[in-house]
Chains A and B, each alone.
Chain A
């Protein structure tokens, strides 16, 4: 059954149709908000708020075929508000980032308890994930939201343009600068290619 069928059934009073819709979209929206806000509790909260909003205003959506763009718009606006509300954005230094994700490259200790300087060691998978998430949090919001939609939601540029109400070339150019900014951020933290050959 398509989203449009489900929306129509819901508007006819079938709450289970709405729950099917939620079941279908909860995971993508949760992952979107999680990558945007980099905090599980906030992501849960925003996902819930997004669907409550959808529940109460779905009747007002004129073009039902634009449901998914509309849904992303709601989630995005909630994320932007939340992010503004927190205003905790600041540039992490390498030290802070390390502390934040709990990884330590400069003070590896060997079995004898001696501190060993080994900056070029490989990152473990979960350390790498922490580094990537931290880097994502550092780039400008307007690039970040597009990177998330492209890399993790698998949306086409034209779909992202519709969600953001921007020309498609603007979307592509922000994506380009977003990727560059991410790379720059890793370089700033001295995370080089060798470290990125992580162990799976």
Chain B
């Protein structure tokens, strides 16, 4: 084997992608060629060094809550079956992000981790521009309504799961609602005044929901 041939096999050898025969030939060349040996050593060191960078565990788990090929409308008119979180156990400390994908128009995220419970909702602006404000308002109202179902189920599930944790969670959830209200108002922006009203009334419902859960618990 010549140096040029050996060089073309360096990467395969380093990452163990050579078959037994080529590997034998390559190693034979290494023993007789200090140049290729030195080059391999140097590459091996770099490879070993960089391969030691650790793998990172994602802090949150993504969960989708909408089926494909259903329009946002049919999806949201249906009563939500069983909230999927109920079936899924999760490791302590691992947050869950629920992505409620409605025709990629709206993106609701429900997060639960050690720091508490968070709800975030955003509209994708490039999509919403094509829709009239009335339709947007109707969609948003519908989404909000369904969100209540999800939240109620979620809270019930959490309550059963961990009575003690719930108080803490609800406290931070209330804070989050306040933050959320402000965020949503900014997000929705111009041309959607009608939405704001329905939003506020929905938020009052959320708050009522929280109170109810609180009362039930006491």
| A interface, CB within 8 angstroms of B | 10-11, 13-16, 18-19, 22-23, 26-27, 30-31, 34-35, 40, 44, 47-48, 51-52, 55-56, 58-59, 129, 132-133, 136, 147, 150-152, 156-157, 169, 172, 175-176, 179-180, 182-183, 196
- Rounded to whole angstroms, the CA-CA distance of A172 and B65 in the bound complex is 41
Contact check, A26 vs B66: say whether CB atoms are below 8 A apart. Answer: no
Sort chain B's interface into a size bin.
35 or more
Contact check, B97 vs A31: say whether CB atoms are below 8 A apart. Answer: no
> Which chain A positions have C-beta within 8 A of B17?
156-157
Contact check, B50 vs A44: say whether CB atoms are below 8 A apart. Answer: no
Contact check, A59 vs B42: say whether CB atoms are below 8 A apart. Answer: no
> Which chain A positions have C-beta within 8 A of B191?
none
Contact check, B68 vs A58: say whether CB atoms are below 8 A apart. Answer: yes
What is the chain A residue whose CB lies nearest that of B101? A55
Contact check, A14 vs B55: say whether CB atoms are below 8 A apart. Answer: no
Give the residue of A48, A59, A133 whose beta carbon is less than 8 angstroms from that of B69. A59
Closest chain B CB from A124 CB (angstroms): 13
- Whether A15 contacts B65 in the complex (CB less than 8 A), given A52-B107, A56-B104, A136-B50, comes out as yes
Chain A CB within 8 A of B73 CB:
no
Contact check, B11 vs A132: say whether CB atoms are below 8 A apart. Answer: no
- Rounded to whole angstroms, the CA-CA distance of A132 and B49 in the bound complex is 8
- Whether A147 contacts B50 in the complex (CB less than 8 A), given A152-B55, A176-B11, comes out as yes
Give the residue of A19, A26, A176 whose beta carbon is less than 8 angstroms from that of B84. A19
- Rounded to whole angstroms, the CA-CA distance of A23 and B62 in the bound complex is 8
Give the residue of B15, B56, B67, B87 whose beta carbon is less than 8 angstroms from that of A150. B15
* Segment 47-72 of B: residues with Cβ below 8 Å from A: 47, 49-70
Give the residue of A35, A55, A56 whose beta carbon is less than 8 angstroms from that of B53. A35
Name A's interface SS.
helix
Pick 18 A–B contacts, CB within 8 A, sort by A.
Answer: A11-B68, A18-B64, A19-B84, A26-B62, A34-B56, A44-B60, A48-B62, A51-B62, A52-B99, A52-B104, A56-B101, A56-B104, A129-B53, A132-B49, A157-B12, A157-B15, A179-B46, A179-B47
- Rounded to whole angstroms, the CA-CA distance of A74 and B210 in the bound complex is 39
A19-B64, A44-B60, A183-B45 given. 6 additional CB < 8 A pairs?
A14-B67, A34-B56, A44-B58, A48-B62, A55-B64, A133-B53
- Rounded to whole angstroms, the CA-CA distance of A52 and B82 in the bound complex is 21
What is the chain B residue whose CB lies nearest that of A50? B62
- Whether A175 contacts B84 in the complex (CB less than 8 A), given A132-B49, A133-B53, A183-B42, comes out as no
- Whether A27 contacts B58 in the complex (CB less than 8 A), given A13-B68, A18-B64, comes out as yes
Contact check, B55 vs A31: say whether CB atoms are below 8 A apart. Answer: yes
- Rounded to whole angstroms, the CA-CA distance of A133 and B55 in the bound complex is 12
Closest chain B CB from A154 CB (angstroms): 9
> Which chain B positions have C-beta within 8 A of A150?
15
Contact check, A151 vs B47: say whether CB atoms are below 8 A apart. Answer: yes
- Rounded to whole angstroms, the CA-CA distance of A129 and B50 in the bound complex is 9
Closest chain A CB from B83 CB (angstroms): 11
Contact check, A179 vs B43: say whether CB atoms are below 8 A apart. Answer: yes
Closest chain A CB from B24 CB (angstroms): 20
> Which chain B positions have C-beta within 8 A of A169?
8
Chain A CB within 8 A of B10 CB:
yes
Contact check, A129 vs B54: say whether CB atoms are below 8 A apart. Answer: yes
Closest chain B CB from A82 CB (angstroms): 17
- Rounded to whole angstroms, the CA-CA distance of A40 and B65 in the bound complex is 25
Contact check, B56 vs A13: say whether CB atoms are below 8 A apart. Answer: no
> Which chain B positions have C-beta within 8 A of A179?
43, 46-47, 50
> Which chain B positions have C-beta within 8 A of A129?
53-54
Contact check, B87 vs A16: say whether CB atoms are below 8 A apart. Answer: yes
- Rounded to whole angstroms, the CA-CA distance of A193 and B51 in the bound complex is 16
Interface-central residue, A31, A35, A55, A179, by most chain B CB under 10 Å: A179
